[in-house]
Amino acid sequence: MVEIDPQFLGELRENGYSSFLISDSGKFAGTRKMFTEAPSPIFHVHSWKYETTLRLLRKLSSMVRPEEAERVNVQFEHPDLKEYIPAATTTTMRSGMQMIKPGQFAPEHRHTARSFRLVLEGPEDGAYTNAAGYDLPLRKGDIILNPADVWHSHRNESEKEVIWFNGMDVIMAYWLGGIFYSDSKRTRIEPRIPADVNINNWGKLGVNYFGKNPNAEGILYYPREYTIEAVIEASEQNPENCETVRKLLDPSTSGSLYPTLEVKFWHLPGLTESSIYKRTENIVFLVYSGSGVFSSPSGNFQLGKYDVIAVPSWTEYHWVNRNSEPLILLSYSDAPIFRASGWYREEK
């Protein structure tokens, strides 16, 4: 390697410049090598326990006024990334959990960052997200979508608290300069169109409309019959499989749920191990039910119900279910970004 006077390299950086000698070597002033033979992520595998998450959620809820219900959320901030950007779970995504207590209302708002929520605890009736005018139930196992710039609010008219897991592409949108956010002053949300109307419009045959309005809201709701129950049924139909994985699709494109996010449900029967995976995708897992071991070169992580783990790109891993009960997982990743950019790789 060419030897350059360190003082000159320092002068470059002090004046807002860099050089291949700095960015590639990774040996100057704490920089990392950029051109590597394989991806070298800037964060490591890290997990969060639901017991701690729930304790902090409840503590926060006791401090927040009822009209600030949308603030009762805790975000999974990766310790390796907190010096770069607040509340980043991976380099492109943010995850968190939110609670809406009985009688609370989270006012209408919208943002360009895309998100989805998986309901972990909720009543059979009386709790809703209203998105684009549709009243979407917040039942355990339901998935609710918030595409870019769709107005949405949350309310809980039941006697049971609602807790959901949230996944967003907000970190990528932040890095690229694409964040827009606005609040509505409306306190009463109208209309309240039944969720079935959205499913009938977008979730059944004939959704690939010619000349589809690019501003149409699209599918907003996947009831648990299409998520948790569907992956359980698929596993029962293929008992010889070590794991069953089902990806949620955008019915209007037959592609990933969002251009930036891919959402999957996994089912591992009792006393089985999954395949070994190594892919270019940053991925977050949530244990929906059961318990298991996440195994990677970073170590083994024993995870239980509603625990969360973040995994960087190009990490080899597999899941082990040592119990007799099935292990059901939710995962979401930024794989669509890698595919669209021509960077997607997978070792089998």
> How does pLDDT run across 160-203, given as a tens digit for each residue?
999 999 999 999 999 999 999 999 877 666 678 888 888 887 77
Unique residue bearing structure tokens 């596993």: 235
Beta strands in 49-93 (DSSP E): 73-75
- Residue pair 122/139 in contact (Cβ under 8 Å)? The answer is yes
Per-residue pLDDT of 225-243, as tens digits, reads 999 999 999 999 988 788 9
- Residue pair 118/330 in contact (Cβ under 8 Å)? The answer is yes
Domains of the chain: 1-35 (no CATH), 36-347 (2.60.120.10)
The pLDDT confidence band at residue 209, using thresholds 50, 70 and 90, is very low
Q: Measuring CA to CA, how many Å separate 108 from each of 67, 117, 180, 279, 329?
A: 12, 16, 15, 37, 30
Q: Is the pTM of this model over 0.75?
A: yes
In the predicted model, what is the mean pLDDT of the chain? 89
Q: Per-residue pLDDT for 13 more than 80?
A: no
Give the Cα separation of 166 and 144 in Å (integer). Answer: 10
Beta strands in 90-190 (DSSP E): 94-100, 105-111, 115-121, 127-131, 134-137, 143-146, 152-156, 162-168, 181-183
> What is the end-to-end Cα distance of the chain in Å, rounded?
35
Residue 191's pLDDT is what?
73
